Amino acid sequence: MSSRPRSSILAATLARKPRNRALPPRGLIGRIQLAAIPVAALLTILSIGHARAEFTVCNQTLDVVNLAVGQKVDNADQTDGWWTIGANQCVNVIREELTNRYIYIYATDVFGHAILNGSTEMCIDRRRFSIRGIDECWQRGHIAARFVEVDTLEQVRWTFFLTGNSP
């Protein structure tokens, strides 16, 4: 063990000169930085494209809501469900750009009671579903429910806000 006190060993360690490490030429750093800019821009554009939601429903109530959606698919009415939306949360229910002016929604509370008063009768089921056609729900083994018509004004993206008050 050394006879020098610890404080002088620490001082000697701090007083050492840093080693000269080889740095890349300045031109190389500039080229790397220039190449990184288009790559970063491309990644930004791609990430924005994947994050787009085309029909979003936001639950601005204090309760959890279960949601079903109706729309025209290949010239036939189709309903899909269920999405569960927590209080003050949003869910993307249609991920493609909207091609229909009208989208239909039906929402229930956790007890299955309707919380929207719609006028368009469409079919639903108790569990997750995708149903083609809106006629004769009961005869086909489904449940008839009254959906609210949402006019998207022919926009390609739309957000609907559930506020607890029927539209």
In angstroms, the CA 79 to CA 2 distance is 82
How many beta carbons lie within 10 A of that of residue 149, not counting itself?
A: 14
d(CA 79, CA 106): 10
Burial letters for 30-40: b for 16+ Cβ neighbours within 10 Å, e otherwise? eeeeeeeeeee
Q: For residue 78, which amino acid is it?
A: Q
Distances (CA, A) of 136 to 46, 78, 104, 143: 44, 13, 18, 9
Global model pTM greater than 0.85: no
Question: pLDDT, tens digit, for every residue of 69-96?
Answer: 999 999 999 999 999 999 999 999 999 9
pLDDT tens for the 167 residues of the chain, in order: 555 555 555 444 445 555 555 555 566 555 555 555 555 554 544 444 444 569 999 999 999 999 999 999 999 999 999 999 999 999 999 999 999 999 999 999 999 999 998 999 999 999 999 999 999 999 999 999 999 999 999 999 999 999 976 55
Kind and range of the H or E element at 45? helix 26-51
